[in-house]
Amino acid sequence: MTVLPESVTGPHASAGASLRAALAEAARVVGADRVTHPGEETAGPPVSPLGPNVSLYRSRAVHGVVRPQTAEEVRRVVALFADGTTGARLHTFSTGGNWGLGSREPAADGAVVLDLSGLDQIRDIDVAQGWAVVEPGVTQARLAHLLAGTERMLNVTVSSAHTSVVGNALDRGVGLRHQRVEDLMGLEVALPDGETVRVGWWPEPSRPTPVYPHGLGPSLVQLFVQSDLGVVTAATVRLLPRPEALRVVRLHFTPGQVEEATAEIRRWVAQGLASGVVKIYNEAAAKAYGGPAGQYLVHVCVDGTARSVAALSAVVTAEAERSGLFSAVSATDAEDPQAANHDIAVRVERAYAGDPDPTDVLFEAKTGRPAARLDEEGGFLFFLPLVPFTGGALARADALIEQVRVETGVRCGATFNTLGADVVDCVITMRFARRGDEADAAHLALDRLYELFATEGFIPYRLDIDHTDWADRLAPDAGARAFARRLKDAVDPRHVIAPGRYA
Ligand SMILES: Cc1cc2nc3c(=O)[nH]c(=O)nc-3n(C[C@H](O)[C@H](O)[C@H](O)COP(=O)(O)OP(=O)(O)OC[C@H]3O[C@@H](n4cnc5c(N)ncnc54)[C@H](O)[C@@H]3O)c2cc1C
């Protein structure tokens, strides 16, 4: 499954003079040591300069990887390819931790890859006003560290602490407080015509304007999210008020109770009892969090002042007990050193409070290895559909996952992340050993999940690099897709920016 296509032979063998000239010029812009060509490091058959990926997606043909370190270098590199004569398309990643969906790989063959992990400046920050200007290489660990002990916090994900704030938001990632796009206030974008624009909200040195992304007229920030219109070189990111107190209530329920238990949790969310994203793990996903065998695990965060947290956790506990749906309820695991899951509970509460844990303990419990070795040694795929937040819909999602197990033998992990009272982000994970048949079965399961969930109306909000055709198949209105293509033609007439997974 990792066999490289014959086209991975590098610019010296397959690309034209124009591409070689552009890459040579890019090396002058960023430094020769910051451009990698395919296969140049080994004497054997050509290897992808992107290395392996954790999902065993086919390595795409890549003409080279360029690693700029400043926004101006990005602008100049984009301009080098702008006339389209190289035939290459520019694919960009920030820190490339898009595990399960493609890691660093572009969706299509024939790309020059821009690795922006070297753009790692926190350019500006205003804790009182609640914003930071960060470049794509800034990790959640670095930004959260700066905010430790202040009145503001970052909405962190449960991926590695060393993944990018900007990259995750640009793929509509989900943090523990809400979907990360809600934190994007402004974007700095290198456009295919060689211009850099700043859309949305940006700080003005002479006056403290309110942090508000939409401005007047058409709101432009979201144009560059899951987008092939430009390369993002910085973002203004919202920093959230830090709650004075916070607690995570931990509950269990049996698989037979999915419909009733999730309906009950929906009631709590709709009535404002929970803060941030409620996480509901099936048995396979709950293991890393110390979930008991054969049970679902739920984390409900309550936060506010000390008194409101005491009151809300008591209310959630009482509602859970009154419902008779939950086999265990605990609001004190993080306070009680004797609790069986004390260490995990402390880390979970810290994460809801904006600490992504630079040691990646829970991340490694889930993946079995450090982030740096994941693409080389790990094996898993993600499928990420949205499901209406009703007990019936979540029970149906659970049944579809079971159907996939019966058909393929693959037991998927599933985490239901509530995005408000109406929508659930359903994270479905297939783990496999890299050698043997398990990878094929997992990829088969992934295909079935797309078909079964889409038929049900549970459509993915992020795509992997092998299922890009689903962007058209899932579009509710063909006219809207055609309009997006007209925008692409206007902004990027030579189609220099790689179409990615959504175009
Ligand atoms: C155990 C585990 C837990 C996870 N938990 C979460 C979670 O809680 N929430 C979540 O959302 N994900 C999660 N993930 C998935 C993934 O690891 C994260 O989304 C991660 O943040 C993505 O990596 P990145 O930040 O390096 O983004 P990148 O890989 O750098 O970027 C992602 C994509 O965004 C686009 N992009 C990136 N930068 C730019 C740019 N500068 N200009 C234009 N386009 C750009 C590209 O299409 C790129 O492929 C998890 C993964 C694992 C293995």
DSSP string, 434-474: SSSSHHHHHHHHHHHHHHHHHHHT--EEE--TT-TTHHHHH
Q: Which of 54, 60, 75, 94 to mutate to test the pocket of ligand 1 (most atoms within 8 A of CB)?
A: 94
Residues in the chain: 503
CA 169 to ligand 1 center in whole angstroms: 8
CA 309 to ligand 1 center in whole angstroms: 32
- At 14 the pLDDT is 47
Beta strand segments in 391-448, E: 413-419, 423-431
Beta strand segments in 260-412, E: 279-281, 296-304, 328-330, 380-388
The kind and range of the H/E element at 252 are: strand 245-253
**In contact, 449 and 400? CB cutoff 8 Å:** yes
- CA angle 215–219–222, rounded 5-degree value: 130
What single-letter amino acid sits at 141? A
Q: How far apart are CA 249 and CA 331, in angstroms?
A: 4
368: left (phi over 0), alpha (psi -120 to 50) or beta: left
- At 41 the pLDDT is 52
Phi, psi values for residue 237, rounded to 5°: -115, 135
- At 387 the pLDDT is 98
Crossing angle of helices 258-270 and 391-408, in 10° steps, is 140
68 lines ligand 1 (CB under 6 A): no
227 lines ligand 1 (CB under 6 A): no
Nearest CA to ligand 1 atom 14: 159
> Could you state, in chain order, the average pLDDT of each consecutive group of 10 residues for the chain (503 residues)?
42 70 98 88 67 96 97 98 95 98 97 98 98 98 98 98 98 98 98 96 95 96 97 98 98 97 98 98 95 95 98 98 95 91 96 98 96 97 98 98 98 98 98 94 98 98 97 93 96 94 89
- At 43 the pLDDT is 56
Q: How far apart are CA 12 and CA 4, in angstroms?
A: 17
Phi, psi values for residue 368, rounded to 5°: 85, 0
CA 167 to ligand 1 center in whole angstroms: 5
Q: What is the dihedral of CA 391, 392, 394, 397, to 10 degrees?
A: 170
**In contact, 222 and 181? CB cutoff 8 Å:** yes
95 lines ligand 1 (CB under 6 A): yes
Nearest CA to ligand 1 atom 4: 159
- At 42 the pLDDT is 53
Q: Which of 74, 121, 159 to mutate to test the pocket of ligand 1 (most atoms within 8 A of CB)?
A: 159
**In contact, 200 and 181? CB cutoff 8 Å:** no
Nearest CA to ligand 1 atom 23: 97
CA 299 to ligand 1 center in whole angstroms: 23
- At 503 the pLDDT is 84
| Helix, strand, or coil (residue 249) | strand
- Spatial neighbors of 335 by CB under 8 A, at least 6 apart, are none
Q: Which atom of ligand 1 is nearest to the CA of 378?
A: 53
Q: For each of the domains in the chain, give its residue range(s) and CATH number, in order of start.
A: 10-118 (3.30.43.10), 122-241 (3.30.465.10), 245-353 (3.40.462.10), 379-465 (3.40.462.10)
CA 431 to ligand 1 center in whole angstroms: 18
164 lines ligand 1 (CB under 6 A): yes
Q: Which of 99, 181, 229 to mutate to test the pocket of ligand 1 (most atoms within 8 A of CB)?
A: 99
Q: How far apart are CA 27 and CA 9, in angstroms?
A: 19
Q: Which of 92, 172, 277, 426 to mutate to test the pocket of ligand 1 (most atoms within 8 A of CB)?
A: 92
Beta strand segments in 100-170, E: 111-115, 122-126, 131-134, 152-153
- At 436 the pLDDT is 87
CA 329 to ligand 1 center in whole angstroms: 33
97 lines ligand 1 (CB under 6 A): yes
170 lines ligand 1 (CB under 6 A): yes
Q: How far apart are CA 344 and CA 63, in angstroms?
A: 44
Find, among 11, 18, 104, 109, the residue nearest to 63 by Cα: 11
Q: How far apart are CA 458 and CA 393, in angstroms?
A: 9
Find, among 99, 93, 97, 88, the residue nearest to 37 by Cα: 88
Q: Which of 66, 90, 93 to mutate to test the pocket of ligand 1 (most atoms within 8 A of CB)?
A: 93
- CA angle 126–132–133, rounded 5-degree value: 125
